[in-house]
Amino acid sequence: MIMKFKNLILYDLKSAPLEKEFIGKLKEFADSVEIVFAEKEYAGGLKPSDIKGADALVTRIFDHYDDSLFEKSSLKYIGAMHTDISHFNTRILKKNGIALTNVPGYATEAVAELTISALLNISRRTLDAMNFVKKGNWGFETFMGRELKGKTLGIIGLGRIGTRVEEIAEGFGMKVVHYTPSKKSDKNFLELNELLKQSDVVSLHCSLNGETEGILNASKLKLMKKGSVLLNSARSELVDLESVYKICKQKRIFAWFEAVEQEEIRGRFNKLDNVYLTPHFGWMTREAQQELRDITLNNIKSYLEGKNNNLIQ
């Protein structure tokens, strides 16, 4: 018979809560399941009183988790329904004996496809053209585009998503190079400066950590070709956003960001017609969401069975 948690807290999004079927499956792993709702992400809404007496927390919310939440808690397990766990202080969790699991790889296809769709939109101005016609206009004169075939795509971070982007891009006839320190022996590896100089498109797919934060700073961004495209489906902290704003304002490059959380910065970017933003929805496909739920439940089951499935060491 499988062990159970005594009290499991589900930290969920109020505007789009998880379905009853998923919650029903959670109840198979705990004597009681309580739901705490967040109004939005990054609001720091979870309080110590919300998890008082709980031995498990399953969180769907990408939030600012203060260390004080975990220093004197009764938690034994946190199941993050994300791949990125940079919003947790893993040192504090280990110190307090709290296990943390994540969900790697569930949105590989979804994010890779979105990245390529953003590139196609920029290269052919698809959204601009559609909105132009919706407003009752007609004519092709202002919509000169560029083809992907023969262009060089530079990928920073050739992990699951970066590799899938590479595969799709090669299908369009693009030449792909990459900067991935762990894969220097690869024939398509370039040092970062050289990649930025050679690429017509630069796509970020690395995780956020001490080494990658600000990996594209002002001096690096200046190396990019005039008229090139910067794609970032990953964390916005990988890039010096102020420097991106300046060079985009000068019309030197095009840029797409998937997750710029700061409202003030979004407002400034939205005034530029060569910057495109989307609302951190890369993982929002039916297939990815089902995979997310399945892996989350399997992580919980594995932990209760004494296994280390997707455990952050």
Distance CA 75, CA 91 (A): 15
DSSP symbol at 48: G
By the 8 A CB rule, do 200 and 153 touch? Answer: yes
Distance between CA atoms of 213 and 157, rounded to whole angstroms? 13
120: which residues sit within 8 A by CB, 6+ positions away?
126, 148
Catalytic residue among 21, 263, 264, 286: 264
Cα→Cα distances 5→70, 99, 102, 221, 282, Å: 17, 13, 18, 49, 32
Token representation of residue 69: 């939440």
Specify whether 264 is catalytic: yes
Catalytic site residue from 125, 205, 280, 293? 280
> Which residues face 156 on adjacent strands?
179, 204
CA distances (Å), origin 70, targets 43, 53, 93, 101:
17, 12, 7, 15
Q: What is the DSSP string of 261-310?
A: --HHHHHHHTT-TTEEE--S-TT-SHHHHHHHHHHHHHHHHHHHTT--TT
Active site residue 261: no
Helix axes 126-134, 108-124, angle to 10 degrees: 70
Cα separation, 232 vs 205, in Å, equals 7
Identify the active-site residue in 205, 235, 291, 293: 235
Lookup result for tokens 């409202």: 263
Residue 87 is among the residues annotated as catalytic for this protein: no
Rg of the chain over Cα atoms, rounded to whole angstroms, equals: 22
Active centre residues (catalytic): 235, 264, 280
